[in-house]
Structure 1
Amino acid sequence: MSNMTAIIYTIDPIGEKDVAQEFLKILEKNQLAPQKIGLYEPLKIDYSFEQAVAMWTQEEDGCYVEGIGKSGKAGGLLGKSKNPLISFNMNWWRSTRKVYVNYIDLYFPIKTFKVYKENIENIFRETIILINGIYGYITHSIPEERQHVTGTIESRIPGIFWCNYFGKKYIDFFGKERITSFSWFKIETLENGGIISYLAKEPNKELIKSDDLEMQAKIHLGINSFGDIDAFKANPEEIQIKNVPKL
């Protein structure tokens, strides 16, 4: 199956009730609310708005800080729909000792994307605004896997994909002129000042056949911010430390 991913990262707290409510409203408005929810697979609980909010905000000890141990709270929620086929994964951490990167992922086959393309892009944009996203992307699985190296967004930028979101930290890091001067297929500015850029018209055409466009964009922005694929193949366990914004 040809799969796709949409992911949004933030350093803002997202475990609060109002965030849960608004995200679920965004899914419902775009006809992509989950049918099943849970804290772990397999998901057996029928979706209801109230139950999903309660599970989203459920806290447990879970923030490990080097040299201190557990400090703070953590939570998460999984949601899934079979018709149309789509799922989401949300994880959050909250600690007074460390800034954590929280995120919301969406997973869906290309078949779902073709039918709900506008809805998925709306969810992506609206969620960025809701959680004050710092970085994110939408991609087919082939370019994502092709560019993957060991690490997190705190150590390397995951890549350049069909749809890329750069928040203020990344705009300040690269420079707005450098980002906007690349020959993107399409580029837009969100109401929060963030930039969304598209590398090609479709996520499942030339971008899965060749890495030419993504390499051109990475070289333009600064290749040292992205993973070294040859080094990853030589040593997959090494965490690559690249030139990235301080979060």
Structure 2
Amino acid sequence: MADTESWTEATVYYEDKIGSRETAAEFLRAFGERFPNYHIDKMGHWEPLTQPYTLASATDLWTTSSAHSDDVSYGHLILHGESPLPFYVFVNWYGHGSAQIYSDNISMHALRRKGTEILSPERAVDMFKFLLSWDAPYYGTVTTSEELEAKGWRSVTLEDGRRSKESIALSPKEGLIDLFWANYFGEPFLQAFGKKRAELSSSENCQAVANGVIVHLTRAHALAWQSDVRFCEKLREVIGKDFFFDKTKGLKPRKGPIFE
């Protein structure tokens, strides 16, 4: 993603597996129908992407394991286009032998470069809901690179006393890094929230969708890229601190989603 100023991304994690040819072909066809103006040009497992996009070839790449051993299988696919704005689709799936902490996921990134169109909040939500329509979603977010920079990293002290920053590596199966511009909580999270799920579901800017809820951090029902800090803090209190990564101490959450 060279020459990138910043980006917007929608990411969804699934309970079910998405590595099959059926899922791949169905998703790629549906993407073309739902977003006809978004033209995928290149694809591959790694950048730089050099292979021209076709549905058949993309289906093959989607389902091909990247593992170098028969004892484990996992795969990833990168799709890229430049029209109507620079965008990427990232697909990650985990098969036999993969660590149970990982979840299959799909992410759509819209880049913001000099002189290019900026993705509207409404379009970002549309992409988010599209991703939520696939294979038992249980968690997802819409965020910006600026918000990720502020919330997805923590300050640490090095052995020589200098201060540095490190990325917070946390699977949603382990809990929450933070709350972002938009947050989807599926049944595994809602069940874990217990009695708090009713309060969460009745909170401002909460919308029922895909057997779960989307909660926005914007001011009352306003779709803008500015999150409401006060509402974010209020929502954190409703959910409970045990579900969140402790950035001060570097401790993982005590609670996470409950899978049946």
Q: TM-score, normalised by structure 1?
A: 0.81
Q: Identify the match of residue 189 of structure 1 among 189, 205, 208.
A: 208
CA RMSD of aligned residues (A): 2.4
Which piece of structure 1 moves more, 18-27 or 140-149?
140-149
- CA deviations over 1:118-141 (Å, ceiling 9, x no partner): 444333223222121110011122
Which piece of structure 1 moves more, 101-110 or 210-219?
210-219
Q: CA contact under 8 A between 2:124 and 2:142: conserved in structure 1?
A: no
Q: Identify the match of residue 141 of structure 1 among 138, 145, 160.
A: 145
Structure-1 residue corresponding to 2:78: 78
Change (3 A) 1:122 1:21: farther
One-letter code aligned to 2:145? S
Structure-2 residue corresponding to 1:177: 198
Alpha-carbon distance in 2 for matches of 1:118, 1:211: 20
Q: Identify the match of residue 58 of structure 1 among 64, 67, 90.
A: 64
Q: C-alpha displacement at 1:203, in angstroms? A: 4.7
- CA deviations over 1:174-200 (Å, ceiling 9, x no partner): 143032133x2x22222x422112221
Q: C-alpha displacement at 1:7, in angstroms? A: 0.5
Q: Identify the match of residue 240 of structure 2 among 210, 222, 236.
A: 222
Q: C-alpha displacement at 1:211, in angstroms? A: 3.5
- CA deviations over 1:141-193 (Å, ceiling 9, x no partner): 222232223322132313212211111101111143032133x2x22222x42
Structure-1 residue corresponding to 2:103: 101
Q: TM-score, normalised by structure 2?
A: 0.78
Structure-1 residue corresponding to 2:47: 41
Alpha-carbon distance in 2 for matches of 1:60, 1:162: 32
Structure-1 residue corresponding to 2:225: 204
**In the alignment, structure 1 residue 242 sits paired with structure 2 residue 259:** no
- Give the gaps of 5 or more residues in structure 2: 153-167
- Give the gaps of 5 or more residues in structure 1: 64-69, 233-238
Alpha-carbon distance in 1 for matches of 2:230, 2:245: 16
Q: Per the alignment, in what secondary structure is the counterpart of residue 8 of structure 2?
A: strand
Q: CA contact under 8 A between 1:88 and 1:107: conserved in structure 2?
A: yes
Q: CA contact under 8 A between 1:12 and 1:102: conserved in structure 2?
A: yes
Of Structure 1 and Structure 2, the greater helix share is in: 1
Alpha-carbon distance in 2 for matches of 1:96, 1:218: 35
Structure-2 residue corresponding to 1:131: 135
Q: C-alpha displacement at 1:90, in angstroms? A: 0.9
Q: C-alpha displacement at 1:224, in angstroms? A: 1.9
Q: CA contact under 8 A between 1:27 and 1:33: conserved in structure 2?
A: no
Structure-2 residue corresponding to 1:236: none
Q: Identify the match of residue 151 of structure 1 among 170, 175, 186.
A: 170
- CA deviations over 1:213-246 (Å, ceiling 9, x no partner): 32221111112211222234xxxxxx62432124
Q: Per the alignment, in what secondary structure is the counterpart of residue 230 of structure 1?
A: coil
One-letter code aligned to 1:73? S
Change (3 A) 1:159 1:11: same
Change (3 A) 1:170 1:177: same
Change (3 A) 1:150 1:60: closer
